[in-house]
Amino acid sequence: MLKNCRQCKTQFEITDNDLNFYEKISPVFGGKKYQIPSPTLCPDCRRQRRLAFRNERKLYNRKCDLTGKQLISMYSPDKKYKVYDHKEWWKDTWDATEFGKDFDFNRPFFEQFAELWHEVPQMNIKSENNENSDYCNLIANCKNCYLVFESSNNEDCLYGYWLQKCTDCVDSSFSHESQQCYEVDNCYNCYNLKWSQNCNGCSDSAFLNDCIGCKNCLFCVNLRQKEYCIFNKQYTKEEYEILKGKYLDGSYSNLSKNKLEFEKLLLKFPHRYAQFLKAENCSGDYIQQSKNCEECFHAHDAEDCKYSEHVWRNSKDNMDVSTVGRDAELVYESINTALGAKHDLFCIQCWSGTSDLIYCVGCFSSQNCFGCVGLRHKQYCILNKQYSKEEYEKIVPRIIEQMKKISVSGSNSGDFGEFFPMNISEFSYNETVANEQFPLTKEQILKLGLGFQEEDLSNKYAGPKIQIPDNVAEVRDDLLQAILSCDGCDKNYRIIKQELAFYKKGNIPLPHLCPDCRHKQRMSKRNPLHLWKRACAKCGAEIQTSYAPERPATAAAGSPAKRGKIVYCEKCYLEAVY
């Protein structure tokens, strides 16, 4: 079945398997199934809508509304939500059912839900079991980390994103079980690797792309189990050490030249149509140890998932989800729902053994709730009001029937089956991941009726611009007191003590960009969360790939490239590499 997206007007397909999934997850009350309708938005627009509810990296200073303590928070001070220190939020001194409301059948559900959401206290950041890692968000089991986001089980990491079990890594993303790495993306089991992407088991190297088991290599692409190679050419150990000193001399000016040389190198070699490793019957990109995942991006240990990103750690039989894993199953149109979640529909941030939640936000260890916020260890609640099982199963079907008739989300078929409309998000659009993946101008954001967060420039440093020494060996400790100005966006940033020690130890020039611009630069080198049909550059076979046919050779700003990357199907790529 083909449909036209009501937002972007693009045609998209609803398959028989999709319809079977909607049938399987449709809730049942009193022996009657309340069918989940097929979506009215295409997969991209559904993803954009979900991500508009996720602020990962924007942090602010504001006070705890319970204790008055000054906090680091993902909610700016002007947001009208009640915000508690996350440690206070978890205490038993308050109960979210205190804010319970009767459902008004004369008003739209989303309107009533938004009112409840503003009244129930929110956590300042999402943080669990961390030590000395206050300036982070969406992290767990981390120690001595700073400005690390959406990560777990890391130690001594700075400026990271999606790091798992990493130690002493800086400015790295989507990396696992790696140590002493700098400016790497999508790297697994690596050590002392710098300025590299899509590598596994590599060490003591720099400027690698799609290499496995390599060590002591520079400027190499598609190598396997090699040592002492530069620009894919074999050298002796003695020759390598001499050339290494020439290329990696600790100077920023030389580093800038190296980056341009590496970009040019990437144009000369074929690239695999997708980053797959032990991915059986999968489509999408960045998929490892997964099976039957269709149009998924960044999947690890996932099975039978579709139209999703960041599905991991036994994420199974889920559709249209973002960051859903750790034994989550039968979850639909949800974001950041994990730790044993089962059959949660249209949910945000629901963890720890939740099940049969519908339209819930920030609920933990709860089951059979509808339209609730901030509940812990509850059952049979509607708009945070407690009901008996019998009452719950009578009222929820009435709400669903009302939602089928009323639409504030824009759907012609009513609101039931639609995710929360973007205009009730806790965050302004430009604070969210949606703006990273689907960037909009301020004018476009406001035209859609969404929030736009203005930057606070009241504390912007107005003094003379500090000149960073070209070579890291020339940097003195007094630079730690300096306020630097980003070459990319002109925002202020600083170098912290642990960071400077890392640069000096690794002979790494100090960055001239702020942490946000460095993050954007890394993300720009990753392919988008979208698939196109194109032909293999060698055999002509049709492939589905996240390399857009018209995409420039590299996404990095200022690239001199004029032609696209060479993209091979799996068969041709393996023949070229092995």
Per-residue model confidence as pLDDT tens digits over 199-217:
999 999 999 999 999 999 9
Among residues 562, 415, 474, 481, the alpha carbon closest in space to that of 111 is found at 415
- Alpha-carbon distance 185 to 197, whole Å? 5
- Alpha-carbon distance 377 to 488, whole Å? 47
> Which residue type occupies 348?
I
What value does the mean pLDDT take over residues 278-292?
Answer: 96
Q: Is 382 exposed, middle or buried (0-12, 13-18, 19+ CB in 10 A)?
A: buried
> How many CA atoms lie within 13 Å of 284's alpha carbon, on the beta-carbon side?
30
What letter would DSSP give residue 364?
B
**Structural element, H or E, at residue 521:** helix 515-524
- Alpha-carbon distance 134 to 75, whole Å? 15
Predicted pLDDT of residue 578: 84
What value does the mean pLDDT take over residues 19-45?
Answer: 97
> Which residue type occupies 314?
N
Predicted pLDDT of residue 271: 97
Predicted pLDDT of residue 464: 81
Q: Is residue 555 predicted with pLDDT exceeding 70?
A: no
For 34-54, write each residue's pLDDT tens digit: 999 999 999 999 999 999 999
For 225-236, write each residue's pLDDT tens digit: 999 999 999 999
For 181-198, write each residue's pLDDT tens digit: 999 999 999 999 999 999
**Structural element, H or E, at residue 70:** strand 70-73
Q: Are 443 and 459 in contact (CB under 8 A)?
A: no
Give the 3-state secondary structure of residue 58. coil
Rounded to the nearest integer, the mean pLDDT of the chain is 95
For 329-366, write each residue's pLDDT tens digit: 999 999 999 889 999 999 999 999 999 999 999 999 99
What letter would DSSP give residue 558?
T
Predicted pLDDT of residue 455: 87
Predicted pLDDT of residue 13: 97
pLDDT tier at 558 (50, 70, 90 boundaries)?
very low
Predicted pLDDT of residue 452: 97
Predicted pLDDT of residue 238: 98
What value does the mean pLDDT take over residues 98-111?
Answer: 97
pLDDT tier at 554 (50, 70, 90 boundaries)?
very low
* Residue appearing with tokens 């602020």: 55
* Neighbouring-strand partners of residue 218: 206, 230
- Alpha-carbon distance 536 to 555, whole Å? 20
Question: Could you tell me which residue, 458 or 200, shows the higher pLDDT?
Answer: 200
- Alpha-carbon distance 35 to 25, whole Å? 8
Give the 3-state secondary structure of residue 376. strand
What value does the mean pLDDT take over residues 512-526?
Answer: 96
> Which residue type occupies 6?
R
